[in-house]
Amino acid sequence: MKKLKDLNGLNAYAISDDFKFHIISVVISYSKDVAVYWTRDQSGYTNEEIAKFKVWEFPLDERVNVMDFGETSAIEMIEEVVQSEIFRGFPICVFWKVAKNDYFENWHSHFELEEPTDD
């Protein structure tokens, strides 16, 4: 089992787009600039659009409600992601929300179990 040994230098950044997708993403990174540009590249924003982002530090230990997962924090989600086989390094998005919603979402929220087949 992989385990994140050191959180030193890692921060959570809330990155708000209130002009296009109306999404707030919480991105874990060693750098605010890297978090913003990574979000741009992952979501297809233009350089002009990223200049409009609102960005602020998000407390790593703040408890939030994540759809289909329950109450959690960015630290707990970092641990979840680090243990997954898809983890390759930072930055990562631990959860996001549509601005009008009072809950966050993450990859757990869209995970559907496949029905077993009798082959």
Q: Which residues of 28-60 are buried (b: 16+ CB within 10 A; e: fewer)?
A: bbeeeeebbbbbbeebebeeeebeebebeebeb
Mention every residue, 6+ apart, whose C-beta is less than 8 A from residue 13: 26, 27, 28, 29, 32, 35, 36, 55, 56, 57, 58
Q: For the whole model, what pTM was predicted?
A: 0.82
The Cα 114–Cα 36 span in angstroms is 34
Among candidates 39, 42, 38, which has minimal Cα distance to 24?
39
**Backbone conformation region of residue 47, classed left if phi is above 0, alpha if psi is from -120 to 50, else beta:** alpha
Mean local confidence (pLDDT), 69-95: 88
Instruction: Flag whether pLDDT at 104 surpasses 60.
Output: yes
The Cα 101–Cα 64 span in angstroms is 12
User: Percent of the chain, pLDDT > 70?
Assistant: 83
Mean local confidence (pLDDT), 50-66: 94
Strand-pairing partners, residue 71, are: 65
Confidence band (pLDDT; 50, 70, 90) for 35?
very high
